Amino acid sequence: MRVGILLFDEAEELDFVGPLEVFGVASRLVQSLSVVTVSKDGQPIRGRYGLRVQPDYCITDCPLLDLLIVPGGKGAREHARYDNAIISFVKTHASKQEIASVCTGALVLAEAGILAGRRATTHHSALDMLRRYADVHVIEGARFVVDNGVATSAGISAGIDLALELVRRDFGEKVAQEVAQTMEYSYQPAQPT
């Protein structure tokens, strides 16, 4: 299984680093799992609080992914959801494989039409922004929502909970618990909304 994390300028760092850590730790336990990062042009990105990251791939040379994770933050709200190349990449991926978002990454998925007719959540401060997409059934108060191959999570640290849920689903409770223990993260398996 190959997990890809989409990166763009002003993405919220924990939105992508949290899931990266979860799947990275899991890859030490499950040899068939790998994690890569991808950006629009393969150039370094600068996160919301200044972290610079060199992506592994650009959207045109990215290998086939089994799961794509889209982070949120100012970059998602103000730039990524209006970038035609990013939206096209997200749409193409979602038509073939699973996709997830953390925080306001849900706005990128909504803009791409992926959340149409689905239940979804986002950061509590952006629920009204997500409601502007009339075809999205917005769920308040949930840490994460999984709806037919599309997963969304609430703000920032909720992406860790979502990533652990996806690890649990794909590799079992024992692996998810071991990942959480390695991270010293208080993991309470939750039923997705």
CA 191 and chain centroid, separation: 18
Nearest C-alpha neighbor of 41 from the set 26, 24, 62, 21:
62
Q: What is the set of active-site residues?
A: 103
Concatenating the DSSP letter of every residue in 95-153 gives TTSEEEEETTHHHHHHHTTTTTTSEE---GGGHHHHHTSTTSEE--S-SEEEETTEEEE
Phi, psi of 59 (to 5 degrees): -65, -20
Phi, psi of 127, deg, nearest 5: -60, -40
